[in-house]
Amino acid sequence: MNVVILAAGQGKRMHSSLPKVLHRLAGRTLLAHVLATARSMAPQRIVVVYGHGGEQVPGATAGDDIRWVRQEPQLGTGHALAQALPQLDRSQPTLVLYGDVPLTRRATLEKLRDAAGEGVAVLTVELDDPTGYGRIVRSGEQVLRIVEQNDASAEERAIREVNTGLMILPTARLERWLARLGNDNAQREYYLTDVIAAAVADGVPVRAAQPAAAWETLGVNSKAQLAALERIHQRTVADELLAAGVTLADPQRIDVRGALVCGRDVAIDVNCVFEGRVTLGDAVSIGANCVLRDVRVSAGTRVEPFCHIDDAEIGANCRIGPYARIRPATRLAEDVHIGNFVEVKASEIGAGSKANHLAYVGDSSVGRNVNVGAGTITCNYDGASKHRTVIEDDVFIGSDTQLVAPVRVGRGATLGAGTTLVRDAPEGQLTLSRAKQTSVPGWKRPEKKK
Ligand code: UD1
Ligand code: CA
Distance CA 233, CA 242 (A): 14
Beta-carbon neighbours within 5 Å of ion ligand 2: 219
Residue 162's pLDDT is: 98
Ligand 1 centre and the CA of 80: distance in Å? 9
Residue 313's pLDDT is: 98
CB 125 within 8 A of CB 214: yes
308 is catalytic: no
- Find all residues with CB under 8 Å of 192, minimum gap 6, and list them: 76, 77, 78, 80, 81, 96, 165, 167
Residue 325's pLDDT is: 98
Residue 11's pLDDT is: 86
> Which among 48, 52, 77 is the best mutation to test ligand 1's pocket, defined by most ligand atoms within 8 Å of the CB?
77
Distance CA 383, CA 381 (A): 6
Angle at 87 between CA 83 and CA 90, to 5 degrees: 105
Nearest CA to ligand 1 atom 3: 134
Q: Which ligand is nearest to the CA of 99?
A: 1
Ligand 1 centre and the CA of 189: distance in Å? 10
Ligand 1 centre and the CA of 190: distance in Å? 10
Domains of the chain: 2-217 (3.90.550.10), 223-431 (2.160.10.10)
pLDDT-flagged residues of the chain (< 50): none
Residue 355's pLDDT is: 98
Pairing of the two strands 364-366 and 348-349: parallel
Question: Which one of the listed residues 15, 337, 357, 387 is annotated catalytic?
Answer: 357
Ligand 1 centre and the CA of 236: distance in Å? 26
DSSP code per residue over 390-440: EE-TT-EE-SS-EEESSEEE-TT-EE-TT-EE-SPBPTTSEE---PPP---
CB 205 within 8 A of CB 142: yes
> Which residues contact ligand 1 via a Cβ below 6 A?
6-9, 49, 71, 74-77, 79-80, 98-100, 133-134, 146, 148, 162-165, 191-193, 219
Residue 10's pLDDT is: 84
Q: Which ligand is nearest to the CA of 134?
A: 1
